[in-house]
Amino acid sequence: MANPNDPTLRSWIDIPPTSDFPIQNLPFGVFETLERGTRLGVAIGEYVLDLYAVAQFGLFEDLELGSKMPKVFRRRSLNQFIALGRPVWRAVRQRVSELLRHDSTALRSDEVMRACLLRQSEVEMLRPVKPGNYTDFYSSIEHATNVGTMFRDPNNALLPNWRHIPIGYHGRASSIVVSGTPIRRPNGQRKAPDADAPTFGPSQQLDFELEVAFVGGRATELGSSVPIQYAEDHIFGLVLFNDWSARDIQSWEYVPLGPFLGKSFGSSISPWVVTLDALEPFRTAGPVQEPEPLLYLRQLDAHNFDINLEVAIQPENAPQTVVSRSNFRHMYWRMAQQLTHQTSNGCNLQVGDLYASGTISGPTPDSLGSMLELAWKGTRPIPLADGSERTFLLDGDTVIMRGFAKKDGVRVGFGEVSGMILPAVQ
């Protein structure tokens, strides 16, 4: 059985070399058309492979749980497919890889191709999972240091617990939306540093946060925990994630209990979930963790991933400007550590839960993952291609995030996550 990550694999579908979706990727998503309704699909080049149509031709019947395949492929989320378990995810990805290889003929008749392949431009992509729960972490040491420098003590930027524990908070799952969904500027309380009392109105410091989120793949019982060596078995895959943030609302409300309305008005995710299996070739070592974590959080080997990330801002009717280029490998706290810590108190997990990394900032000025850092709390305006400047985001701005990993001539990408800012409701 051929390895679906083999860099020498080729598809009979013509795939541009710059595509995020070669045969070595095969991410899962949910699409909709008027004729077909809602179905699960796999991205391949510029196309979507309709998994329900493939199942109708009997091409999954010999797989374990194959009889259940047609039903799970006509859902509005990946949750039920994910719940079938890791052996099924792998078997389906393996079979899809076999069907799409250059020497396979099973899908290549006119009738089958018409039934199974659609152009991505012809479908509407939906939110890929229905998260019952959402956790946002704070796992970039560069980001945490920058924020601590701006708002606390430049000589003692990290709080005492930061190097010992993956810090996070439970966010709002209901306001997580798929790429392309507009985001309404939030209203809220904010207080200027020299003001005696707060005021209420539209946020004046709307920001993005460049993040990557992983999708939970297994449920656990209340009161149980996930040991660190098994944590990655509970991860289905990764998406790009924009955790929109209203900094002025956030800074006024976050003491004493942390993020609330400055975060919950919207978060955007990319429509394609890149499986952890597809990212296996891109493993890399992360930052050295000092002091060594407590025993339950210790990991050996490489558990970070070399994923290039970028953020662009596009004003309305104007060209876009890339304002940040970073990498997921910079994360201090790793996904497995985040998940294990999440369950260490007995918190139960559910399939489809989302776990965001927190803002991903690198060590250089052009690798910072938020406007708060790039414009350094509004003191260093960022120039855009149309001649304008930004310290925070304006109405009509669209923020676009992209990500891809590349090695041995193979590019495994995420597509993009984007959202336009609409004016606040007055």
Q: What is the CATH number of the domain that holds 75?
A: 2.30.30.230
Catalytic residue among 102, 143, 164, 341, which? Answer: 143
pLDDT of residue 17: 92
Domain shared by 80 and 149, yes or no = no
pLDDT of residue 424: 98
Domain count of the chain? 2
Please give the share of the chain, as a percent, with pLDDT higher than 70: 99
Domain hosting residue 64, numbered range: 28-125
Q: Is 388 annotated as a binding residue?
A: no
Domain shared by 172 and 118, yes or no = no
Q: Write out pLDDT tens, residues 313-360.
A: 999 999 999 999 999 999 999 999 999 999 999 999 999 999 999 999
Last residue of a domain, one of 125, 154, 177: 125
How far, rounded to the nearest angstrom, does the alpha carbon of residue 191 sit from its chain's CA centroid? 32
Structure-token pair, residue 381: 């305006």
Q: Is 111 annotated as a binding residue?
A: no
Q: Is 296 annotated as a binding residue?
A: no
pLDDT of residue 1: 74
Is residue 288 one of the residues assigned to a domain? Answer: yes
Q: Is 130 annotated as a binding residue?
A: no
Q: Is 230 annotated as a binding residue?
A: no
Annotated catalytic residue 143: yes
Is residue 2 one of the residues assigned to a domain? Answer: no
User: Mean pLDDT throughout 401-413?
Assistant: 97
CATH number at residue 359: 3.90.850.10
Q: Write out pLDDT tens, residues 213-249.
A: 999 999 999 999 999 999 999 999 999 999 999 999 9
Please give the share of the chain, as a percent, with pLDDT higher than 90: 93
Q: Write out pLDDT tens, residues 171-228.
A: 999 999 999 999 999 999 999 989 999 999 999 999 999 999 999 999 999 999 999 9
Q: Is 194 annotated as a binding residue?
A: no
pLDDT of residue 152: 86
Is residue 374 one of the residues assigned to a domain? Answer: yes
CB atoms < 10 A from the CB of 407, how many? 13
Domain shared by 82 and 211, yes or no = no
pLDDT of residue 67: 67
Domain shared by 222 and 243, yes or no = yes
Is residue 296 one of the residues assigned to a domain? Answer: yes
